[in-house]
Amino acid sequence: MAKKTKLPFSVDDYVVYPKHGVGRVAGVEKQDVSGFALELYVIRFEKERMTLRVPINKAEISGMRKLSSQATLDRAFTTLQGKARVKRTMWSRRAQEYEAKINSGDLISIAEVVRDLHRGSDQPEQSYSERQIYESALSRLARELAAVEEIDEAAAVDRLEQVLVA
């Protein structure tokens, strides 16, 4: 008889999947794929109206993790309050680096992107692509903050913007 192992994530847990952000475990299901029986986490991303199935044995390798701790959130806020560090490289190279940081799923890296691309009212307008990357990073950060603090995403965005202008 097979031994039941304790799964790292339970149904209804919020999780962070690096490329997609915050989702909720909707269930665990078994599927036959090419003759192999697989157990899969079913993760629902409401904002994108997307469902992702991740093999349980690949969840950790894929970078899937629990929500950040309050200490990590505090470090992200400290990062947001820091001075922007914009490299003097071509925009296309910086854009790739920003996208890689966002897709890493690391909250501190995402906070760095938000900090570096934030524009105050006294600063020049952003290009379209800068704005897109900024919005993507801000949304990713806000969704995790909202899930951790159990507030809605709009309130999380307001809170992040207040930290940025402080």
Residues 38-46: contacts with CB under 8 Å, at least 24 apart: 41/9, 41/15, 43/15, 43/17, 45/17, 45/20, 45/21
CATH of the domain at 55: 2.40.10.170
User: What is the domain extent for residue 30?
Assistant: 14-66
Show the beta-strand stretches assigned E in the chain.
Answer: 14-17, 21-33, 36-45, 50-55, 65-66
Contacts of 76 by beta carbon, 8 Å cutoff, 6+ apart: 68, 107, 108, 110, 111, 141
Q: Which pLDDT band holds residue 99 (cuts at 50, 70, 90)?
A: very high
pLDDT at 27: 92
How many other C-beta atoms can be found within 10 angstroms of the C-beta atom of residue 30? 8
Q: Which pLDDT band holds residue 5 (cuts at 50, 70, 90)?
A: low
- Taking every pair of C-alpha atoms in the chain, what is the biggest distance, in angstroms? 67
Let me know if residue 87 belongs to a domain: yes
Section 116-120 average pLDDT: 88
C-alpha dist (Å) from residue 75 to 72, 81, 113, 139: 5, 10, 14, 18
pLDDT at 150 over 50: yes
pLDDT at 120: 77
pLDDT in tens, 23-74: 999 999 999 888 888 999 999 998 888 999 999 998 889 999 999 999 999 9
CATH of the domain at 133: 1.20.58.1290
Per the prediction, the chain carries an average pLDDT of 90
Find out whether 22 and 67 touch, Cβ atoms under 8 Å: yes
Among candidate residues 118, 126, 158, 163, the one with its CA nearest the CA of residue 142: 158
- Alpha-carbon span 145 to 160, nearest angstrom: 9
Last residue of a domain, one of 66, 84, 108: 66
Let me know if residue 114 belongs to a domain: yes
The rounded percent of the chain whose pLDDT value lies above 90 is 65
pTM score, whole prediction: 0.87
Let me know if residue 84 belongs to a domain: yes
Label residue 49 left, alpha or beta by phi (over 0 means left) and psi (-120 to 50 means alpha): left
